[in-house]
Each structure stands twice: as C-alpha cells, then as structure tokens.
Amino acid sequence: MEPAVSLAVCALLFLLWVRVKGLEFVLIHQRWVFVCLFLLPLSLIFDIYYYVRAWVVFKLSSAPRLHEQRVRDIQKQVREWKEQGSKTFMCTGRPGWLTVSLRVGKYKKTHKNIMINLMDILEVDTKKQIVRVEPLVTMGQVTALLTSIGWTLPVLPELDDLTVGGLIMGTGIESSSHKYGLFQHICTAYELVLADGSFVRCTPSENSDLFYAVPWSCGTLGFLVAAEIRIIPAKKYVKLRFEPVCGLEAICDRFTRESQRQENHFVEGLLYSLEEAVIMTGVMTDEAEPGKLNSIGNYYKPWFFKHVENYLKTNCEGLEYIPLRHYYHRHTRSIFWELQDIIPFGNNPVFRYLFGWMVPPKISLLKLTQGETLRKLYEQHHVVQDMLVPMKCLPQALHTFHSDIHVYPIWLCPFILPSQPGLVHPKGNEAELYVDIGAYGEPRVKHFEARSCMRQLEKFVRSVHGFQMLYADCYMDREEFWEMFDGSLYHRLRKQLGCQDAFPEVYDKICKAARH
C-alpha cells in the first residue's frame, strides 16, 4: 500500500503544481522530462543506424546502381500521377516531421506524395574535386566521410541533420560563406525529375536557367534526385581566435573588417546583447600549439555558445585549436542555444558527463512529439528566424531586432552574394557582402505578438533588399513576398516546364497567409 500512497501523493502534488504554474508554463518549460527519458535514447538509436548504413553502402559501392533504379521509380510515380489525371499537386512523400524546419506542412495530407528514398553518397572524385550525393544525405554523413579521407565542403552548415536537398531547395550558410557564398554557390550540377516525369541535368552551362532557378524554390520546379558539390582539401584543425568587443559601432566595424579579409577561412559573431559580442575568426591548419587544443565536440564539453561567453565575461581574447569536424558541428549539441529552453540544466557538468553523449535530441523527433497545442504555444512564445541583410545595414538591422523581438544570443554569419539569376541576388550587378542574422529563442519584448512583430521585421528586411530564410514562419502576403524575392525567372520556368498544375507556387507552400 505504501508505494501506491506515495505515487498518489506525487500525482496530486504534480497536479497542484500544474494548476499553480499553469498548463502553458509546464508544457513550454518542463518538457525536459519527456525529452530526457524518451527522445534522447531514441535519437541515439536513429543516429547509430543511419551512420552504420551510410558507411556500409559506401564501402560496398552499391549506391550508384541502386540510385538509377530509384530514380526510375520516381519517374514511374510521376507518370502514373499524370495518367490518373493530375488531380492534385505533387510533393515528396517524406513526412513533414522529419524536416529540420519548425514549420508544419499540412499540404502533405492533400497532395500526391511521391516517395523519394535517396539518402546515399554516390561518389567522391578527388581529381575533379566533386562529391555526388543524393538529396537526403545529411551534413553529419558528409563530414564523417569526407574528413576521414582528407576533404571537406567549402560551405558546411552546422547542424548534423540538415540535408543536401533542404540546403539546395531552401538555403544553407556557414562561417566560410564570406569566401564561398551560400550552399547553392558551391553546387556545380543538379539532377531533377520534372513534372512530366522526364530526367534533366542542369549546370551553369547546360540548362542554366533551371540551374539558377532551383535554389530557394522549395521543390516547386521538380524533384531533386542528385547534386554535385565542390570539395576542397581539409586540414586537421581550425585555429580559432576569440575577440570580445563592446559597443555596437565597434562590433559592426570589427565584424565587417574581418568578413572582408579573405585570409580568414571562417568568420562568425555571437551577440549577447546590443552592446556585447564575441567575434571569432579561424583558419584551417595541420598543426596545433601544445596546451591549446580544445575538442569542443566531446560530449562532456561545455556548450559552445556558453564557452564563447566566458571570453566576454573575462574580457580576454583567446586562441584555440579545434578539430575540424568538431568545429563544423560546434552548435549541434546545443542546437545553437535552443536546447537550454528544452533542458535548462543541459550544460550542467554533471548532466554533460552522465548523459551528454546522448545529446542532442533529433529535431524531427521533437517536432513529431510536440502536438498541436505545444506547437501553437511555441509559435506565440518563441522565435526561430534567419534574416539576410546587406552588411552595410547591420547596425540598423540589429537595432530593429532588438526593438522588435529582443532575443539573445544573436548569430552573425557573413556571406558573399554573387550577382546571378534566380530568386535571391543583390540589388546591383555586382556581388555584395551580406550577413545572416539568426534569432532563436524566447522574445523579451513586452506584449510580444508573433504575427505583428514578425511582419514588422519582414517589412524592414524588404526595405533594405534583404531576404528571409524560408524554413521559418513567414507572415508576408503574396505581393510582399514577390517584392522580397525576384520571381521573373522562376515564374517563366514554371510555365515552360508545366509546373503550374504539378507543384504549388513557393509562396503557397511556405507562407502562413497562404497555408490552410
């Protein structure tokens, strides 16, 4: 009887606590119980399975042969859709919860789902310096293979679960983007299955209009089945300098200067308040000074953004040598700083040593288990946005972020934007230096209302000829959306390739005002 009584007392106390704190508070701030007990072990099992599978497939060289069969199967599905009358739009059959985007795509339930099971690295050609991959290959797979043979991608976005297809059809960025541009700018060829079931390969010189229109199109021009991406020689470590800077003007000046220096392989800034930041610059190297090696990716190490903050608190510059793969995925364990809102004690040394090897939970599993109520609560109490603005507008942009949402830390990542056709390009005819301003967390402005605050931020971004990453919630109407993005080539190709009856327009696929 005693255990039953104790359990009943605990349940009663829990219900009283929920009543006092409120259900919203418990759902948002105490989710760690379910995450720690269930999602962390399940995420670990997922990772082990996919890494072992990728290694076996690559070693047996079975991927290229299977790839051709799978592409033919996709073509067959598309042709069957046409034969059945093309009654609904098509989309990939990948469940919406598997994507890294926090947006829930309800169109999966109403559109014709085309199953695309393409998740392998097909070929690494070190002579041509090209890797050919399928669209569901993740950044974790890419770094695990390429760094083991001495190569890497020029732009390798941080989170393990980001896929090649998502980074092409959406976009991707890394602290090397001030040299190489966005993820799309290191791609040399795309292979697609079009609305009529035909197969096409496009490059800057072959079917070039399609090549430049595919990035940011969110799968509304065809199904991506493979991509060829540049690779460069890798070195063992990143020699990383940490520089705390105070004062907004000084922060923007220093960040801009470092972003313009091509000798820097990596440039990144973490803004901890409007007046405090740490700017990091790095170069790849094969040698490390004794006593300065920091394997920041080890499970028991402090979360990277907390480690960086120590340089700000002590107001001291620093120099560390970080293993290359650890550097690439430096924000993975804490999902930038999002995990502190899910597991508040996640950076505690005791938790890191005992359970850090299971962190992070997979974003896809977090989405799958959040439920509609929690999703709506996060939408109203949480911001996840990346806004791309010209570097010359950085001071004004940071003031706007501070007044409209007041979320810290803020991620600053510079990138060069070439003057090329497509949905996203500079205002003039020359390449221009831009910066990605990433805001992830709970807004601290009084009376925050998601729709009105985000529309205000989107209006500012449009006014400076900036762009909003399309993985996040977008509140623009159709006219505002096409004011931000150049749809001239995109719309011409949709008509030319028969996409208007096969795929929804990108606006209808991603914007809240258009989704049902």
Contact 417, 425 (CB under 8 A): yes
3-state secondary structure of 389: strand
Check residue 516 and give its pLDDT.
44
Percent of the chain predicted with pLDDT > 90: 63
Higher pLDDT, 182 or 15: 182
Going by pLDDT thresholds of 50, 70 and 90, the confidence category of residue 7 is very low
Higher pLDDT, 109 or 121: 121
Block residue for tokens 């190709």? 493
Which residues lie across from 232 on neighbouring strands? 152
pLDDT surpasses 60 at 408:
yes
Check residue 256 and give its pLDDT.
98
3-state secondary structure of 113: strand
**Residue 83, phi then psi, degrees to nearest 5:** -65, -30
How many whole angstroms separate alpha carbon 303 and alpha carbon 307?
6
How many whole angstroms separate alpha carbon 167 and alpha carbon 171?
4
Check residue 366 and give its pLDDT.
75
- How does pLDDT run across 492-512, given as a tens digit for each residue? 999 999 999 999 999 998 876
Asked if the peptide bond before residue 409 counts as cis, ω within 30 degrees of 0, the response is yes
How many whole angstroms separate alpha carbon 206 and alpha carbon 371?
45
Which amino acid, one-letter code, is at 128? K
The stretches of 243-393 forming alpha helices (DSSP H) are 248-260, 304-314, 324-328, 339-342, 349-355, 363-368, 371-381
How many whole angstroms separate alpha carbon 152 and alpha carbon 156?
8
- The structure's pTM equals 0.88
Mean pLDDT of the chain: 88
Contact 386, 437 (CB under 8 A): yes
Check residue 51 and give its pLDDT.
72
How many whole angstroms separate alpha carbon 189 and alpha carbon 187?
6
Summarize the confidence of residues 359-376 as an average pLDDT. Answer: 72
CB atoms within 10 A of CB 301: 19
| Residues in Cβ contact with 334 at an 8 Å cutoff, skipping those fewer than 6 apart | 303, 304, 305, 306, 340, 346, 347, 359, 360
Summarize the confidence of residues 122-146 as an average pLDDT. Answer: 92
- How does pLDDT run across 161-171, given as a tens digit for each residue? 889 999 999 99
Summarize the confidence of residues 42-47 as an average pLDDT. Answer: 81
